[in-house]
Chains A and B, each alone.
Chain A
Amino acid sequence: DAKTTQPTSMDCAEGRAANLPCNHSTISGNEYVYWYRQIHSQGPQYIIHGLKNNETNEMASLIITEDRKSSTLILPHATLRDTAVYYCIVRLNAGGTSYGKLTFGQGTILTVHP
């Protein structure tokens, strides 16, 4: 699986959009970009994933650059409850020997302040 690079920490004001970047310059053509977050003392929570096209769901939007070497997770209206560690993960969307293993890096600590 391709390696990802994320900023260690970011701040965001409540009600504003939070834009979390991720660099995955070695991503291959059949690897997807996944985003998870982990709120203190809880299990990781799936947010969104995509391959090439931008994706949006009820939680967030995912913007993937045309060359797929980087992406941005957007929380459109951040709340205090969005304070968490956000993980960008790149993986093959297939079974095989990995059987769907997720490789978590250090992530970005997002702090939403009033």
Chain B
Amino acid sequence: DAGITQSPRHKVTETGTPVTLRCHQTENHRYMYWYRQDPGHGLRLIHYSYGVKDTDKGEVSDGYSVSRSKTEDFLLTLESATSSQTSVYFCAITRQPNQPQHFGDGTRLSIL
């Protein structure tokens, strides 16, 4: 299995609080992705990174920011969490965009 660790695995927090999710990889892959998964929507891309300090928006980026200060870590931040951001968040990595992505086990986030 690809060396991907997501933390925390579960989190419950209140509306309006900041939340940061972490994706850590040991594969030295250049590309990293954050997806969210909601019933009826499948997985949707939030943000992605194509190198250190190189990031771009996905299809559902509003309310989220990301940072990648080193190859192995890709952080997803909800500056002021809302109930609509309650979801399961998955990180994925790949060496090149034309190769398969490998996913972490997800973070289950509940915003009350």
Which positions in A face B, CB cutoff 8 Å? 34, 41-46, 49, 87, 93-95, 98-107
When distances are taken between beta carbons in the complex, the residues of chain A under 8 Å from B56 are 99
B94 to chain A, nearest CB (A): 6
Partner of A43, one of B94, B96, B105: B105
Check: B75 CB closer than 8 A to any chain A CB: no
Beta-carbon contact of B90 and A43 below 8 Å: yes
Chain B interface helix/strand/loop/mixed: strand
Beta-carbon contact of A104 and B42 below 8 Å: yes
Partner of A44, one of B31, B48, B50, B103: B103
When distances are taken between beta carbons in the complex, the residues of chain A under 8 Å from B43 are 44, 102, 104
With A99-B50, A104-B43 as known contacts, state yes or no: A43 contacts B97, CB within 8 Å. no
Beta-carbon contact of A101 and B58 below 8 Å: yes
Number of inter-chain CB pairs below 8 Å: 59
Tell me the chain B residues, 93-112 only, with Cβ under 8 Å from chain A: 94, 96-106
Beta-carbon contact of A42 and B106 below 8 Å: yes
Q: B81-92: contact bitstring with A at CB < 8 Å (1 yes, 0 no)?
A: 000000000101
The answer for the CA separation of A66 and B27 in the assembled complex, in Å, is: 36
When distances are taken between beta carbons in the complex, the residues of chain A under 8 Å from B45 are 101-102
The answer for the CA separation of A109 and B96 in the assembled complex, in Å, is: 29
Beta-carbon contact of B105 and A100 below 8 Å: no
Q: List 26 A-B contacts (CB under 8 A).
A: A34-B100, A41-B106, A43-B92, A44-B90, A44-B103, A45-B103, A93-B98, A94-B97, A95-B50, A95-B96, A95-B97, A95-B98, A99-B31, A100-B33, A100-B48, A100-B94, A100-B96, A100-B98, A101-B45, A101-B58, A101-B59, A102-B45, A104-B42, A104-B43, A105-B42, A106-B42
- B contact residues, range: 20 to 34
The answer for the CA separation of A87 and B100 in the assembled complex, in Å, is: 13
A52 to chain B, nearest CB (A): 16
When distances are taken between beta carbons in the complex, the residues of chain A under 8 Å from B50 are 95, 99
